[in-house]
Structure formats: C-alpha cells, structure tokens
Structure 1
C-alpha cells in the first residue's frame, strides 16, 4: 500500500517538476533568442495573434508559461515510467529515494544533451542556408538567424535528451535494485591532523 501511495506521490510531482524544468529551460533559450518566442512560440501556443511579431507585456512570464506547457506532459510520462521501474524496489522508502534520483539523472542528461544541441545548432546548423530548414518554421522577418537556429536545435535535442535520460534513469533504478544504497552507513573518517 505504501509503495502505491509513493507511486501516486511521484506521479503527481513529476509533471510539476517537468513543467518547472521547462520554464527554467525556456528562460535560458529566451535569453539567447527572444525572436524564437516573439515570432514563433508565443504564436504557436496561441498567446498572441498571428503576425510578424508578438509583443506581450512581461514576456519572461509568458516564456515560463510556454516552457511549463511544453514540458509538463514529458515530466508526467517520465515520472510514470520511472515509477514503474521503482516498483521493483523492496520498500517504499527505497522506491522513493531511487526514483527521485533517477528523475534527477534524467533531467541532468536532458540538460547536457540540450547544451550539446545548442552548441551543434550554433556552430554547425546555423551556418546552413535558410532553405536547408524547410521543415522548420523560420519567419521571413528573422533578424538573428544563427541564435534562432541554435535555440531551435536546443529544443529539439532536449526531447532526445529526455528520452536518453529516461533510459539512464531506468538503468540506474534497476541497478539500485541489484546493488541498493544502504542508508545509515557511517561515512569514512578522515585521518586526524591533530597530534
């Protein structure tokens, strides 16, 4: 019963954590390319009418809203899958501890992957001509093309990073079932410098 309640707790927390991650992530990407939001994301999320550029009061707040809306469902999905792996643990405490760590591993992996996407987008993709991005939404009035492409690449890589991180989190969880962390073990003592 406690493991089931732990599962419910994590499943309820996961979309909130995922949404907060997305809100913070989008603050970073907005800093790099405001146009990605004012000419694409705000319109895509129907926060502004279609037009050449969206002008919203307090755009950082709306960037956070876009980030939350774009990732809460990913957090929910990842949390649910990690909980299923967590059910293999002997106790609810171990399940909670290991599953939350697996979630952190997933987020860290996603972050590292999206930074790689940002670098790849800026150093490689942004040097391609506009017509190479016919599957992307590129506004005609874009001013900072390179940063727009870099942020688009970062967003694309973040979903791949979430999937890779999920695999890493599952592996971690299953590994911990075989080699559980034992809480309460004493820390090794450092040699005393006093004589």
Structure 2
C-alpha cells in the first residue's frame, strides 16, 4: 500500500515540477523574445495578457499549461517501473534520482537549444512558420529552438531515467538476493 502512495504522490510531484519548469522556462524565453509569445503563443493558447494581469503572468500561465501534462506522462512512466522495487524506501530513492536526471537533461538540452538557435538557426534561417512583421526574427528563432529542444530533452531525460530505473531495480533485487544466504531457513 505504501508503494501505491509513493506512486500517486510521485505523479502529483512530477506534474507540479513540470509546471514550475514551464513557468520558469517561459520567463526566460519571454525575456529573449516577447514576440514569441505576443505573436505566437498567445494566439496558440487563445490568451490575452489582460486576463492574467500582464505579460509575465500570462507567460507563466502558458508555461504551466504547456508542461503539466509532460509531468503526468513522466510521473506515470517512471512510477510504474518503480512499483517493482522491493520496498517503498528504495522506490522513493530511485524516483528522486530519476526525476533529478530528467530535470538536468531537460535543462541541459534547453541550453543546447539556445546555443543551436543562436549560433546556427538564427544565422541560417528556418523553415518554420514565422509571424509577419517580426522585429526580432533571430530572437524569435532562438526562443523557438529552446522550446523545441526542451521538449526533446524531456523525452530524452525520460528514456534515460527509465533505463536507470530498470537497472537500479535489477541491482536492488540482486543485492537483496545476495543478502539472504542460500538455503537459509527461518523458523518462527
């Protein structure tokens, strides 16, 4: 029963962390290209800044709404294999390490998206849809690159973390088997 509690709590925590990541991520990308939001994301989400009290709040709302579902997906995808750990303590330890791994890979991949966007895409152009009348085309492209790379990083982090979870599970079971002497009998 404790493991199921850990599983459901982890899903909630993953949703919350993904939402917070989205909020912070959008604050950074808004500072790079306000037009990415005012000429693209606002329309995509059907939002107006006055609904939320201004641009920064609207960008935060979009960040949460754009990422909470990835937290649900990540939480379930990591939580299910974690149920196979021998006990809830090992499950919690493995899940903490796995979610940190996802976050680190996502942040690193987003940073790679910034570098790729700034030094390659902004100079060579893109075949994406670009809104008309952009005053900062390069900035728009950089923000878009960061967004695309971050989703890729979340997926990459999830896959690597699933491999980590499965590997940890087998190591944990092997360690548990080594600690019980072969042929040992317990009398009660």
Q: TM-score, normalised by structure 2?
A: 0.85
Residue 127 in structure 1 maps to residue 119 in structure 2:
no
Q: Give the match for residue 185 of structure 1.
A: none
Q: Give the match for residue 192 of structure 1.
A: none
Structure 1 counterpart SS, 2:60:
helix
Unaligned runs of 5+ in 2: 176-188
Give the one of 80, 87, 95 matched to 2:83. 87
Q: Give the match for residue 154 of structure 1.
A: 146
CA distance in 2, matches of 1:119, 1:12: 32
How many residue pairs get aligned? The number is 172
CA distance in 2, matches of 1:55, 1:113: 32
Q: Give the match for residue 45 of structure 2.
A: 45
CA distance in 1, matches of 2:152, 2:96: 20
Cα displacement (A) at 1:55: 7.3
Cα displacement (A) at 1:26: 0.7
CA distance in 2, matches of 1:80, 1:100: 14
Q: TM-score, normalised by structure 1?
A: 0.82
Q: Give the match for residue 184 of structure 2.
A: none
Cα displacement (A) at 1:175: 2.6
Q: Give the match for residue 10 of structure 1.
A: 10
